[in-house]
C-alpha cells in the first residue's frame, strides 16, 4: 500500500526540491501534531494565518453551523448572504469612514489583483509604483508589483508600466507623478525580511500621492488583524490608505481576502461596464462565518493588546539572545511579527532545521535566506514563549559557523 508521503511526492505538485514533509494529524492552540505522535510549537501560524491559534472552538462552531445552513449559492455580490454582510459590517465599524466598502476575495493575491484593477479604473491611469523587496503575490498581476526579480524573471512579460523604487527612501518619491494610478506597499515588508521603514517615509509617500492624485494601496495581508500590535498597521502610522488589502488571518483559518475602499472609489467596479470585477467563491459564506467568529474572539480577548505586549517581550528576549551569539546580526519586529537576521544564510538554515527537530516551527525561505520569520499566534502564553526561546537557545549552540 502506498504511504501518504509517497502519494504526496507523486501527486502533489512540489514547489521546492526539499519539502518539509511533516504529516499533519491535528492542530490546536499554538501546537501542530503529526502522525508520528510528535508535537510542534508553531511560531509561524501558517505564515500569520492562525492569529487566534489553531482550531479555536468558537470558530469551528461557526463553520459547522454555517455549513449546515448553506455553502455556495451564487456568485458574490448577487444574493444577500448574512455571513458576508455581518463580517463586512463588523470590519467597517473598526475602520475609518473612508474605508467602508468591502469586496471579499478568496485570497490575498486576488485581493491585490482587485485593488490594482480598481485603482486603474478609478483614476483612468496605467502607471503603478511598488518597492524593491516587496511581495504582493504570485498571480500575474500581483507578481507584476512584487519587487523581487527572483520571482518575476521566469514569467516575463508581466504587466507594463510598473516602476520599482527603493523602500524607505523619501528622496525618490518625486518619481510618483500624474501618470501613476496607484502606489502599493506593505507597512512592513514580510517576505523581504521583516523590514520596518521610518514613519516619516510613509508620511512623505502619502503626501506625494495626494499631490499627484495617485491612490495609495496598503497591502496588510500579513500585518493586518492584530499582527503588529494594532488591529491594522496603518493605525500606528496615523494615516489612512485609499485602498486596504487584507487576507491570511481574516478568515480565521479559512480562505478569505478583501480589498477595501470608499464607496466613491468602489463604485467604479459597477459601471462602464457593470460587473467590472466578479468572483465566484470570494466571500464564501463559511469563510465569512469563520472570519467573523475569529474577529469577535480577537476583540473579546483583547488579543491586539496582547500582541503588542507579548511581542515586545519576545523581541526583547531575542535581542538579548542576539547579543550573546555572533551568528545573529539583529532581531527586529513589531508586535508578533519578528525577524531574526543571521550573519550567514547557512547558519540561518541550520538554525531553523535544528529548531524544527527539537519541536519548534519557524519561517525560512531560500530567497531571504538570512532571516528567520516569526509570526506566532497572538494567543501565545508565557509558558509557550519560554518553551520556544529555550529551543532556539539550544539550537544556536549546535549550528556551525
CATH architecture group of domain 57-300: 3-Layer(aba) Sandwich (3.40)
Structure confidence by residue, pLDDT tens digits, 83-128: 999 999 999 999 999 999 999 999 999 999 999 999 999 999 999 9
pLDDT of residue 401: 56
Confidence of residue 365 (pLDDT cuts 50, 70, 90): confident
Structure confidence by residue, pLDDT tens digits, 162-184: 999 999 999 999 999 999 999 99
| Pairwise pLDDT comparison (6 vs 186), residue with the higher score | 186
Percent of the chain with pLDDT over 90: 93
Residue 353: closest CA among 393, 386, 318, 395: 395
Q: Give CA–CA dist 286/62, Å, rounded.
A: 8
- Domain range 4-55+303-397, its CATH number among 2.40.10.340, 3.90.1150.10, 1.20.120.80, 2.60.40.10: 3.90.1150.10
Confidence of residue 22 (pLDDT cuts 50, 70, 90): very high
Residue 283: closest CA among 73, 55, 48: 73
Dihedral angle computed from the Cα positions of residues 23, 26, 28 and 31, in that order, rounded to the nearest 10 degrees = -20
- Residue carrying C-alpha cell 474572539: 297
pLDDT of residue 400: 63
pLDDT of residue 77: 86
Please count the CA atoms within 13 angstroms of the CA of 137 that sit on its side-chain side: 26
Please count the CA atoms within 13 angstroms of the CA of 175 that sit on its side-chain side: 17
Please count the CA atoms within 13 angstroms of the CA of 223 that sit on its side-chain side: 27
Cis peptide before 242 (omega within 30 of 0): no
Exposed/middle/buried for 181, CB within 10 Å: 0-12, 13-18, 19+?
buried
Tell me how crowded residue 96 is: count the other CB atoms within 10 A of its CB. Answer: 15
pLDDT, mean over the chain: 96
Confidence of residue 309 (pLDDT cuts 50, 70, 90): very high
Q: Contact 338/311 with Cβ under 8 angstroms?
A: yes
Across residues 127-139, what is the average pLDDT? 97
Residue 310 pLDDT greater than 60, yes or no: yes
- What residue segments make up the domains of the chain, in order of their start? 4-55+303-397, 57-300
Tell me how crowded residue 9 is: count the other CB atoms within 10 A of its CB. Answer: 12
Amino acid at each position: 500500500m502506498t504511504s501518504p508521503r509517497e502519494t504526496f511526492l507523486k501527486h502533489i505538485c512540489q514547489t521546492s526540491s526539499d519539502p518539509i514533509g511533516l504529516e499533519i494529524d491535528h492542530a490546536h492552540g499554538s501546537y501542530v501534531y503529526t502522525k508520528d505522535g510528535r508535537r510542534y510549537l508553531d511560531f509561524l501560524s501558517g505564515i500569520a494565518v492562525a492569529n487566534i491559534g489553531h482550531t479555536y472552538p468558537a470558530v469551528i462552531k461557526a463553520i459547522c453551523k454555517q455549513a449546515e445552513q448553506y455553502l455556495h449559492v451564487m456568485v458574490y455580490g448577487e444574493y444577500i448572504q448574512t455571513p458576508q454582510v455581518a463580517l463586512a459590517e463588523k470590519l467597517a465599524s473598526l475602520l475609518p469612514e473612508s474605508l467602508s466598502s468591502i469586496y471579499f476575495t478568496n485570497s490575498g493575491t486576488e485581493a491585490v489583483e482587485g485593488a490594482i484593477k480598481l485603482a486603474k479604473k478609478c483614476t483612468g491611469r496605467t502607471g503603478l509604483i511598488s518597492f524593491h523587496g516587496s511581495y504582493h503575490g504570485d498571480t500575474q498581476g500581483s507578481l507584476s508589483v512584487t519587487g523581487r526579480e527572483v520571482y518575476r524573471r521566469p514569467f516575463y512579460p508581466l504587466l507594463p508600466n510598473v516602476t520599482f523604487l527603493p523602500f524607505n527612501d523619501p528622496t525618490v518619491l518625486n518619481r510618483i507623478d500624474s501618470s501613476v494610478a496607484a502606489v502599493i506597499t506593505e507597512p512592513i515588508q514580510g517576505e523581504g525580511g521583516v523590514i520596518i521603514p521610518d514613519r516619516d517615509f510613509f508620511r512623505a509617500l502619502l503626501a506625494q500621492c495626494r499631490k499627484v492624485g495617485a491612490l495609495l494601496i496598503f497591502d496588510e495581508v500579513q500585518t493586518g488583524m492584530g499582527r503588529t500590535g494594532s488591529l491594522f498597521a496603518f493605525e500606528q502610522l496615523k494615516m489612512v490608505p485609499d485602498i486596504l488589502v487584507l487576507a491570511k488571518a481574516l478568515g480565521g483559518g479559512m480562505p478569505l481576502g478583501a480589498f477595501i475602499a470608499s464607496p466613491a472609489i468602489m463604485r467604479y467596479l459597477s459601471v462602464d461596464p457593470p460587473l467590472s470585477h466578479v468572483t465566484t467563491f470570494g466571500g464564501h459564506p463559511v469563510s465569512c462565518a469563520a472570519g467573523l467568529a475569529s474577529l469577535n474572539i480577537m476583540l473579546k480577548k483583547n488579543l491586539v493588546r496582547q500582541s503588542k505586549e507579548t511581542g515586545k517581550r519576545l523581541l526583547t528576549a531575542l535581542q538579548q539572545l542576539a547579543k550573546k551569539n555572533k551568528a545573529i546580526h539583529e532581531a527586529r519586529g513589531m508586535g508578533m511579527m519578528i525577524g531574526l537576521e543571521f550573519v550567514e544564510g547557512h547558519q540561518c538554515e541550520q538554525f531553523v532545521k535544528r529548531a524544527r527537530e527539537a519541536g519548534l516551527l519557524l519561517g525560512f525561505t531560500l530567497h531571504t535566506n538570512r532571516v528567520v520569520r516569526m509570526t506566532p499566534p497572538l494567543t501565545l502564553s508565557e509558558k509557550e514563549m519560554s518553551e520556544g526561546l529555550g529551543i532556539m537557545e539550544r539550537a544556536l549552540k549546535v549550528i556551525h559557523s
